[in-house]
Amino acid sequence: MKEIGAIHFSPEGLMVLNAVLALVMFGIALELTKQDFINLWNNKKSALVGLVAHFVVLPLLTFLLVKILQPSPGVALGMILVGACPGGNMSNMFTHMAKGNTALAVGMTSISHILAIILTPFNFSFYGSLDEGTNAILKTIHISLYDVFITVGIVVLIPLAIGMLLNHYKPVLASKLNKVMKKFSLIAFAVFLIAAFASNAKVFIASIPFIMPVVILHNTLALGSGYLLASLFKLPFNDRKTITFETGVQNSGLGLILIFTFFGGMTEMAIVAASWGVWHLISGGTLAWWWGRRKSVSSPL
């Protein structure tokens, strides 16, 4: 890959990104109720298959894809990190658009973020250490698994906990806040990404021919692996849709936070995460539209 320059990202920008993602997590939690977890428990098979697809199958397939494509270490590490992140909140919207199992989607998104406190640092560190090129970067950075654990906990777990507690004890207030937070957090995140792109437009544009094809292939693998695993276990078609989105739509914002916190905004890693964040909206939205317009709920065709 040719030299594409460096991404410029200030400490203040990192603070804003942390705050925005925390607000997104808080907004998700404001919708969570005890019934969401009861629904998940009542659909244990689908939930377990979805979580295995997300935290076991996808990281493994990502590593295998890295070994096959042999991208630069920076791109490879970005792929491994994105593959280790929890599901993005847009997966719930796509599931609803596709007429999938929305109750399963909401529960899985929540559980995946809780499990990410441990599994995201573990998968990233484990698979990153297995490749010679990515392991060399990890040794140079001297990244601490504990520090990653704390960062994910602060950005994800604390806002989730506060939102869930507020919804439990003050449901009326939570409902009012949710209407505002849902719009505000998504708009704030979009504005942040646009501003970040504008200030680094030349770097992103120069990287498109080299990184975007890898991101598209990686995302297609993620979506496909979720659907195929759900099909292998003969889950209902609506649950297959849900697991497809839960596996293929990642919280790339969390990935960007980890990249700028621990890797100084390493250009190739950051572009992989940012490109994924844009592309999964296109791929997920298109697939959701396609499934949503079909009258049958028993077949993907």
**Are 260 and 151 in contact, with CB atoms under 8 Å apart?**
no
CB-hemisphere CA count at 13 Å for 104?
28
pTM of the model: 0.85
**Are 290 and 97 in contact, with CB atoms under 8 Å apart?**
no
What six digits make up the tokens of 69?
Answer: 């494509």
Please compute the mean of the pLDDT values over residues 108-116 and round it to a whole number.
87
What is the C-alpha R_g of the chain?
18
pLDDT at 296 over 60: no
pLDDT on residue 205: 76
pLDDT on residue 217: 97
pLDDT on residue 8: 58
H or E element that contains 160: helix 158-169
36: pLDDT confidence band, cut at 50, 70 and 90?
confident
Residue whose entry in the numeric block shows the structure tokens 């190739």 = 268
Q: What is the mean pLDDT of the chain?
A: 85
Torsion region of 70: left, alpha or beta (phi above 0 gives left; psi -120 to 50 gives alpha): left
pLDDT at 115 over 80: yes
Q: Give the other-Cβ count within 10 Å of 119's Cβ.
A: 21
**Are 86 and 116 in contact, with CB atoms under 8 Å apart?**
yes
- H runs (alpha helix) in 233-266: 237-248, 252-262
Instruction: Please write the tens of the pLDDT for every residue from 53-77.
Output: 999 999 999 999 999 999 999 999 9
pLDDT at 141 over 80: no
- H runs (alpha helix) in 10-152: 11-29, 34-42, 44-52, 58-69, 73-84, 90-97, 102-130, 132-141, 145-152
Q: Which of 89, 92, 112 minimizes the C-alpha distance to 27?
A: 89
**Are 279 and 216 in contact, with CB atoms under 8 Å apart?**
yes
What six digits make up the tokens of 7?
Answer: 């991404």
Question: Going by C-beta distance under 8 Å and a sequence separation of 6 or more, which residues neighbour residue 254?
Answer: 21, 85, 86, 116, 120, 152, 155, 156
What six digits make up the tokens of 41?
Answer: 């428990």
pLDDT on residue 140: 81
Q: Is 99 helix (H, G, I), strand (E, B) or coil?
A: coil
Instruction: Please write the tens of the pLDDT for every residue from 214-223.
Output: 999 999 999 9
Return the minimum-mean-pLDDT range out of 6-15, 157-166, 280-289.
6-15
pLDDT on residue 13: 67
Domains located in the chain, CATH noted = 11-291 (1.20.1530.20)
Please compute the mean of the pLDDT values over residues 291-296 and round it to a whole number.
76
Between these two residues, 49 and 26, which has the higher pLDDT value? 49
Backbone angles phi, psi at 142, to 5 degrees: 55, 50
Backbone angles phi, psi at 82, to 5 degrees: -60, -40
pLDDT at 109 over 50: yes
Distance CA 53, CA 167 (A): 30
pLDDT at 33 over 80: no
pLDDT on residue 238: 94
Distance CA 167, CA 36 (A): 13
